[in-house]
Structure 1
C-alpha cells in the first residue's frame, strides 16, 4: 500500500486540496474520511438513495490510489456487503468511470458521485454479481427484496434525528392545573351550601387579614342593622295602620271623662 512518501509531491498537494473541498462541501449523501498519514486510501460513507432498495442504509467504501495516480484510475471497493449487479461478493466495483472512461482530470468528487448514482441505476449488462444482474432483468421485485434484505442486515443504520415541536409540559404545570380544578370544585360546593363565594381574583385585595376581617364584619353589621331597621319600620307601620277596635273605645271614654272634669 502506498503512503504519502511514495506519492509525488504534486499529487499529494492536489489530493490535499480535493479532500479539503470534499470536507467543506461534501456531495449529497456522501461523507469522506482519510488518514492524514496515507492519502492513498480514501474512505467514504454513502447514504442509500431514497426510492431504491438501499434506502435507510449507509454503505462504507474505499478508493485505493496507485503510485502513478492520477494517470491510472483508483480501485474501488465496498466494505459493506451489498446486493448489487455491479458490485461483487468481495466488494469490487465495476463502473466505467474507474475503467475505460477514466480521465486524469477527473477528481475524487466525480468518482464518488458516479458510484452513488450506480445505486440508483445499476447496469446489469456489465454485472460482477451475475445473480443480482439476472434477477434485476427478469424479476425486479425479487431483486429489490434481496437488496432490501442485505441493506437491513449489513448496512450501517443512520442515527435518529432529534424530534421537534414535541416538548412535554413540566410536572409543576400539571399540579397547578389540578389545584385550580380542586379550588373550582370547592367554590361550587360552598355556593351550593349557602356560604359566600370565594372572592374573585380580579377584586381588590385587602392590605392584611385584619382589614379583610374588618371589612367582612362591617358588611355583616350593615346587613344586620339594616334588617333590624326594616323590621322596626314595618312594626311601626303595622301599629299605626292596625289599631284594635277595643282600644279606640277606651280612648273615647277617657276623653269624655276629662271633659266632665
Structure 2
C-alpha cells in the first residue's frame, strides 16, 4: 500500500503543473493533501479528475478562501471520516481530517506556521498543546494511527540545511523541537528516520535565493505512525523531483 503526503500550496496551482499526471503515475492508494486553498465548490473540474483516477475524496477547507485546508484521496472507501477536531479556531482553519479504515486510521494534518509573526507563533504553541491532548484521547479509539502532513517543525539539526543560522527561526525553535521529541517519545515513529538516518533530505525549500536547486531546505513534512504499526512499515521515500509546490511529497509504503 502506498500513502503520499503532500503540501500542494494550492490545488489549483498544482493542477496547472501536471499534478494529476504525476499522481496517476505514482499509483498511490491514499493521498493526504495540505494547504489545498480551495472549497470543493470552486474546483468541480479537479474533483472530476480525481474521480477519474479512481479516488474517493474528502475535503476540509478553511472558512477563509484561498487559505489552508486539508484533503484525503483514497481508493479504499473509509469506514468513517472525521472532519476537524472540535476546537473551533483550528477547525475554521481546516487543519485536521481523518479517515478510518479496517486496519488503521489516516490523518491529514496541517500545523500552523509561526513564521509570519509573534501572534501566529503563539497560536502554533496553542495548537501543539491542544494536539497532544487530542491525540492522546484519539489513540484510545484509534491505536493504529498514521498522522501525515506538514508539521512546520524540523525535529533535529540534520533536518535543516543550516541549523546555526536558523536557531531562532520559527520551525526550528527549541520549544518546537522539544515538542516533537516528546510527541515521538509518546509512542510515534518518524517513519522516514526509521529507514534513513542521513542528512540533507528535505521536503520544503524557500522560493528565494534558488534554494531548491542548492538543496537549502527543511524537512517539515512527516508520516508519523504509532508503534503498533512498526511491522507494517516497508519503505519511506522523499520525492524532491515533484515540483508542483514549494514542498515535495513523502511516500510511505506499508506491507500488506
TM-score by length of 2: 0.24
Larger radius of gyration: 1
Structure having the higher helix fraction is 1
Higher RCO (C-alpha 8 Å, min separation 6): 2
Structure having the higher strand fraction is 2
